[in-house]
Amino acid sequence: MDLSRVIRRNILALAPYSCARDEFKGEASVYIDANESPYNNGVNRYPDPLQHEVKVLLAARKGVSEDQIFLGNGSDEAIDLVYRIFCEPRIDNVVAISPSYGMYQVCADVNDIDYRPVSLTDDFQLDLPAIASKVDEHTKVLWICSPNNPSGNAFELRELESLVKTYRDLIVVVDEAYIDFSDKGSMLTLLDQYDNLIVLQTFSKAWGQAAIRCGIAFANPEIIRYFNRVKYPYNINVLTQQAAIRALSHPEVHDRHVEEILGGREILRILLGSLPFVEHVYPSDANFLLVRVKLDGMDNGQSADYIYRYLQNKGIIVRNRTRVHLCQGCLRITVGTSDEIASLYETLKTI
Dihedral angle sign, alpha carbons of residues 270, 275, 276, 278: negative
The torsion region of residue 297 among left (phi > 0), alpha (psi -120 to 50) and beta comes to left
DSSP 6-39: TS-HHHHT------GGGS--S--S---SS----S
Q: Does 174 bind ligand PLP (CB under 6 A)?
A: no
Within positions 245 to 274, which residues make up the interface with ligand PLP, using CB under 6 A? none
Quick one: 74 or 208, whose CB is closer to ligand PLP? Answer: 74
Interface with ligand PLP (CB under 6 A), residue from 202, 241, 322, 334: 202
Interface with ligand PLP (CB under 6 A), residue from 204, 235, 241, 287: 204
Q: Whole-angstrom Cα distance, residue 180 to residue 287?
A: 9
- Taking the complex as a whole, the smallest distance from the CB of residue 104 to ligand PLP amounts, in Å, to 9
The torsion region of residue 213 among left (phi > 0), alpha (psi -120 to 50) and beta comes to left
Quick one: 74 or 117, whose CB is closer to ligand PLP? Answer: 74
Is the CB of residue 285 less than 8 Å from the CB of residue 145? Answer: no
Residue nearest to ligand PLP (CB): 74
Encoded amino acid at 265, one letter: R
Number of residues this chain uses to bind ligand PLP (CB under 6 A): 13
Interface with ligand PLP (CB under 6 A), residue from 81, 113, 145, 333: 145
Q: Does 149 bind ligand PLP (CB under 6 A)?
A: yes
Interface region with ligand PLP, contact rule CB under 6 A, candidates 74-82, 127-135, 230-238, 255-263: 74-82
Dihedral angle sign, alpha carbons of residues 183, 184, 187, 193: positive
Quick one: 7 or 141, whose CB is closer to ligand PLP? Answer: 141
Q: Does 75 bind ligand PLP (CB under 6 A)?
A: yes
Q: Does 215 bind ligand PLP (CB under 6 A)?
A: yes
Interface with ligand PLP (CB under 6 A), residue from 101, 124, 227, 282: 101
Helix or strand holding residue 332 (H, E): strand 330-334
b vs e for 24-50, b when ≥16 Cβ sit within 10 Å of the residue's Cβ? eeeeeeeeeeeeeeeeeeeeeebbebb
Contacting residues toward ligand PLP, per CB under 6 A: 74-76, 101, 145, 149, 175, 177, 202, 204-205, 210, 215
